[in-house]
Amino acid sequence: MCKLLKGGVAVAMLGGALPAWADYVTVVSFGGANKDAQLAAFYKPFKAATGTAVVRSSYNGDLAKLKQMVEISHVSWDVVEVESPELARGCAEGMFEKLDVSTLGDPADFVPGAIQPCGVGIFVWSTVLAYDANTLKGTPSGWTDFWDLKKFPGKRGLRHGAKYTLEFALMADGVAPKDVYQVLSSPAGVDRAFHKLDEIKSSIVWWKAGAEPVRALAEGSVAMSSAYNGRIAAAQAEQPGLRLSWQGSIYDFDYWAQPKGAWKAKLAQDFVTFSVQPPQQKAFAEAIAYGPVNTKAVALLDPKVVAGLPTAPQNMAGAVGMDVAFWATHGPDLEKRFDAWVGN
């Protein structure tokens, strides 16, 4: 998902400074509400259950630093959170260890797609259309409305990058969710997406960090924005007017991966296995509105909580599953074209 945090890597140790003799595992994840939920659902319970503390760091999803560490055989990250295209590329490039599936439990208990050769899903999340019902006149029903500047005047927030942006543009142009990647796989489909983006280019406010669309909606600097569903759900207590339109949302997994040559491989595997068990998956979904990857966690959740998750049947209807293979193959070229388009 990337749920980004600007700035350098910030490290915090659970319970203050760790004694020299204490064992620990270093987990690098995205920031914000996602990281806070992980602290409550994974890090603290893991320390309580095993005695092993978690040294937690944040990064912005750029694997360049990890790649350099792997190349010089000096890897200080034990577990890292990655989005699915980065997991696929990192696995192909030898940055991640192969996953030991035998430690996780029954693979049949996991949402299809959660278990990959080099990683296991942490949660299911969606990028959705978000707006503030207190300030927007009318109710947008999807990306066609997002593109309609006459019916819904105002700026539009989109995540900076080709990924998600091109899919949304095609759906705004009438492509059915199920056909998005088929259309985007052709040069004509790519051109079509960029032409559609041309229509609202001057009205787009680009965001990179997950907190930005929430803030922009609160300030009224955008009328609508793409956003991470968990970020919006977390902000609704203070911004009760925030609403989501699930139609045309793009859902994906965030994954745990273990860097090649990590110092604490066994502890890393223990942490990963712990985090995907039903009790921890339940606790995470209660802390932030992302769907559990372990299906046994669903029965433990309040139905009201389940209804607000990306994995709820009514929210999955009309949604698009992120095509990992497509972005692993075409991502670099499309991102290069996107950067050139933004700069023109």
Share of residues in the chain with pLDDT > 90 (%): 76
- Could you tell me which residue, 8 or 35, shows the higher pLDDT? 35
Average pLDDT (281-308) is: 94
Please check whether residue 6 lies inside any domain of the structure.
no
Average pLDDT of the chain is 91
Is the residue at 211 inside a domain?
Answer: yes
Nearest to 252 by CA among 128, 142, 127, 87: 127
pLDDT score, position 257: 97
Q: Is residue 238 part of a domain?
A: yes
Taking the CA atoms of 171, 176, 181 and 182 in sequence, report the sign of the dihedral they define: negative
Does a structural domain hold residue 39?
yes
Predicted TM-score (pTM) of the model is: 0.78
Best CA proximity match to 327, nearest among 181, 120, 172: 181
Residue type, 104: L
Same domain membership, residue 182 and residue 132: yes
In whole angstroms, give the CA distance from residue 308 to residue 111: 17
pLDDT score for 19: 41
Domain identity same for 109 and 141:
no
What CATH number is attached to the domain comprising 154?
3.40.190.10
> What average pLDDT does this structure show over 189-205?
98
In this structure, are 119 and 129 located in the same domain? no
290 found inside a domain = yes
pLDDT at 73: 87
How high is the pLDDT of residue 2?
45
> Is 85 or 198 the better-scoring residue by pLDDT?
198
Q: Which of 60, 46, 50, 54 is nearest to 276 (CA)?
A: 46
Q: What would the pLDDT profile of 130-165 be if each residue is shown by its tens digit?
A: 999 999 999 999 999 999 999 999 999 999 999 999
Q: Could you tell me if residue 148 is inside a domain?
A: yes
Classify residue 85: in a domain, yes or no: yes
Same domain membership, residue 160 and residue 187:
yes
Kindly state whether residue 314 falls inside one of the protein's structural domains. Answer: no
> Quick one: 236 and 189 in the same domain?
yes
CB 81 within 8 A of CB 29: yes
Q: Residue 198's pLDDT is what?
A: 98
1 or 46, which is more confident? 46
Statement to judge: residues 200 and 116 lie in one domain:
no
Q: What is the pLDDT of residue 214?
A: 97
Task: Give the pLDDT confidence of 301-319 residue by residue, as tens digits.
Answer: 999 999 999 988 889 889 9
Are 208 and 75 members of one domain?
no
- DSSP classification of residue 201: G
Both 130 and 241 in one domain: the answer is yes
Average pLDDT of 251-277?
A: 94
Q: Are 30 and 122 in contact (CB under 8 A)?
A: no
Do 239 and 339 share a structural domain? yes
The pair of structure tokens assigned to 102 is 């035998």
pLDDT confidence tier of residue 20, bands split at 50, 70 and 90? very low
Angle ∠(165,124,28) on CA atoms, nearest 5? 90
| Same domain as 147, residue 116 | no
Looking at residue 235, its amino acid is: A
Q: How many domains does the chain have?
A: 2
Report the pLDDT value the prediction gives residue 85, as an integer from 0 to 100: 84
Q: State the CB neighbour count (10 A cutoff) for residue 188.
A: 10
- Judge if 291 and 327 occupy the same domain: no
Element of type H or E holding 342? helix 324-343
CA–CA gap between residue 176 and residue 178 (Å, rounded): 5
Residue 22's pLDDT is 58
pLDDT for position 45: 98
Query: Does 282 share its domain with 207?
Result: no
pLDDT digits (tens, 9 = 90+) for 82-123: 988 889 889 999 999 999 999 999 999 999 889 999 999 999
Quote the CA–CA distance of 31 and 105 in Å, as a whole number: 28
Closest listed residue to residue 96, CA positions, set 255, 247, 321: 255
Least confident range from 16-30, 82-96, 212-226, 322-336: namely: 16-30
Q: Residue 229: which domain range? A: 125-251+319-343
